[in-house]
């Protein structure tokens, strides 16, 4: 019994001694063992878990372009993936209906001009006392009606896709044109083309889907059991990429099929290499009030369930116990009695551990 107690005491003493050991090693030995050191990298983000997501466009930055009148598609000068500018020609149609609207506009404009002449004549006759006040009021009412009709015809041409300059030219030249031009309402990128050259389209038939890609979102499926650990403002990092995002919304409903909650994250800056509709794998990173340090997994040595790193000093390395607070692919986030100015062994930790314990390693 005494031997057993003494053995346990000796084991604990040796363990405590080992944990405080200064590993004395020369620079030549460090070079021979191919031990590499590097400075610590501070971080206040704790890696939590991975979750699937999808790259999407904000709804207010996406536009569906449709035909404002029936017609035959004669031009489709842009293709999927093309960058376009506001006002750029997207499509041209031959539309007999457009000719009808132009004719109605010219007729309404002509009637308005005639009504204007009659109004001016009756105003002069009223001033001379030739006609009664009632006749003048009837003339004014007729002119107002003709003006409203002309304005309505002009609005219909605007809705049909003609510009104000084109309508003005039509009023001056009286030349009918069945070519309907569809132009881009925003700067953006063509995501989808929904018709073909030579197609006969009805009114409001879809032509293109375009979007402004200056801002992209991630829609992330968060397991409902992990939702309580996530807060608005937490960071998101795409696996295998330097792209980051910040969570801006947590959904209020659970998907019945997979029991996940939708989280929205706004991508920081330009989303290089990402495509709308792309499925991605992201890691949720939670902000921490305490500063930790990102180190390669190869820098951490395990012994008796505890984690250690080897801090370089003038005599070799000091064994320093740390706490692993999170993992991110090939790196880990650690905290411990470190100032941030130290250099630690990032390669050769196995050899240092063997030297420290006087063993062949205990991974």
Instruction: Return the pLDDT at 290.
Output: 66
- In percent, the amount of the chain with pLDDT more than 70 equals 91
Checking if the pLDDT of 280 tops 70, the result is yes
Give the whole-angstrom CA distance, residue 212 versus residue 230.
29
DSSP 171-200: HHH-----EEEEE-SSSEEEEEE---TT-E
pLDDT 10s digits, 328-346: 677 888 888 888 888 888 8
| Confidence tier at 76 by pLDDT (50, 70, 90) | very high
289 CB-side CA count, 13 A: 0
| Confidence tier at 289 by pLDDT (50, 70, 90) | low
Give the whole-angstrom CA distance, residue 71 versus residue 181.
11
Torsion sign, CA atoms 183, 184, 185, 187? negative
Whole-angstrom CA distances from 69 to 79, 98, 164, 201, 356 are 22, 7, 17, 8, 82
297 burial type by CB count under 10 A (0-12 exposed, 13-18 middle, 19+ buried): middle
- Average pLDDT over every residue of 50-64: 92
Percentages helix, strand, coil for the chain, rounded to the nearest 5?
A: 30, 40, 30
- Single pTM value for the model: 0.63
Checking if the pLDDT of 8 tops 70, the result is no
Checking if the pLDDT of 7 tops 70, the result is no
Instruction: Return the pLDDT at 78.
Output: 94
Better-predicted residue by pLDDT, 211 or 226 = 211
Tell me, rounded to whole angstroms, the distance of Cα 231 from its chain centroid.
19
Q: How many Å from the N-terminal Cα to the C-terminal Cα in the chain?
A: 31
């Amino acid at each position: 019994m005494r031997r057993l107690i003494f053995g346990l005491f000796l084991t604990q003493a040796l363990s405590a001694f080992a944990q405080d050991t200064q590993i004395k090693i020369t620079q030549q030995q460090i070079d021979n063992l191919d031990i590499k050191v590097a400075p610590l990298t501070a971080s206040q983000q704790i890696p939590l878990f991975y979750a699937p997501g999808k790259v999407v466009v904000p709804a207010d930055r996406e536009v569906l372009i449709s035909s404002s009148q029936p017609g035959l598609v004669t031009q489709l000068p842009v293709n999927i993936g093309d960058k376009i500018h506001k006002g750029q020609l997207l499509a041209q149609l031959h539309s007999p209906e457009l000719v009808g609207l132009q004719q109605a506009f010219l007729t309404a404009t002509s009637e308005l001009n005639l009504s204007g002449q009659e109004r001016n004549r009756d105003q002069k006759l009223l001033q001379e006392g030739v006609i009664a006040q009632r006749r003048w009021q009837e003339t004014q009412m007729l002119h107002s009606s003709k003006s409203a009709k002309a304005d309505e015809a002009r609005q219909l041409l605007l809705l049909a896709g003609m510009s104000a300059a084109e309508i003005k030219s039509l009023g001056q030249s009286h030349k009918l044109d069945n070519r309907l031009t569809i132009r881009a309402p925003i700067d953006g990128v063509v995501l989808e083309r929904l018709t073909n050259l030579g197609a006969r389209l009805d009114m409001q038939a879809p032509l293109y889907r375009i979007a402004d890609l200056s801002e992209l979102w991630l829609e992330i499926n968060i397991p409902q059991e992990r939702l309580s650990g996530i807060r608005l403002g937490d960071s998101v990092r795409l696996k295998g990429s330097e792209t980051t995002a910040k969570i801006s919304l947590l959904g209020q409903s659970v998907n019945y099929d997979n029991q996940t909650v939708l989280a929205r994250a706004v991508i920081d800056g330009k989303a290089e290499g990402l495509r709308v509709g792309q499925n991605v794998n992201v890691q949720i990173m939670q902000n921490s009030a305490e500063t930790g340090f990102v180190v390669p997994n190869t820098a951490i040595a395990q012994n008796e369930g505890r984690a250690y790193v080897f801090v370089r000093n003038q005599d070799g390395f000091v064994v320093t116990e740390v706490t692993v607070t999170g993992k991110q692919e090939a790196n880990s986030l650690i905290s411990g009695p470190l100032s941030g100015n130290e250099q630690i062994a990032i390669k050769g930790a196995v050899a240092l551990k063997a030297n420290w314990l006087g063993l062949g390693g205990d991974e």
